[in-house]
Amino acid sequence: MVQNFKEVGPQRYRETFGRYFEDFHEGDVYEHRPGKTVTEYDNHLFTLLTLNTHPMHFDAEFAKASEFKKNLVVSPYTLALVIGMSVTDVSQKAIANLGMDEVKFTAPVFAGDTIYAESEVLAKRESKSRPHQGIVTVASRGINQRGETVVTFKRNMLIPKKGFGVEDKVENY
């Protein structure tokens, strides 16, 4: 079990996040909480920030003519949300995201849906070129309030070993 605090003095603790390479074990599943209820504002802002001009994401009248009868949440937002939800468990201490594979959007997301996420550790190996780091592969998925999987993907991350993370080098971190 990874502790989420470090003792910084008698009866004084500092909250910590993330895992070192040694803390990952194949087959472990991390349930990321809290969930996030997606708002229309979230969808419109992300759509505008990324210059996505498809009217299914921001034109309610256009969307009424579709099979969904309402705006869809733009899929890169759903992906970004699930990645963000997983950070405190799987990549808070990461040196780098090395890649993502097999991204699949398996059900639509609408404003008002609440998304939860979980990640399973698929593999880990020590880096061949960086002796104080390792590569961890996780499979993550986003799940809505009805238990439907809305997005899945695999992610590879470069993770430091204990004592070799950036936070280990920053005083008072």
Cα separation values, 16 from 1, 20, 140, 163, Å? 13, 12, 22, 14
Cα separation values, 1 from 22, 66, 97, 100, 162, Å? 11, 47, 24, 27, 15
Q: What gap in Å lies between CA 40 and CA 45, rounded to an integer?
A: 9
List, in order of start, the domains of the chain with CATH numbers: 22-168 (3.10.129.10)
pLDDT per residue, tens digit, the chain (173 aa), is 455 655 556 777 766 778 889 999 999 999 999 999 999 999 999 999 999 989 999 999 999 999 999 999 999 999 999 999 999 889 889 999 999 999 999 999 999 999 999 999 999 999 999 999 999 999 999 999 999 999 999 999 999 998 878 887 777 66
Nearest Cα to 82, choosing from 60, 105, 110?
105
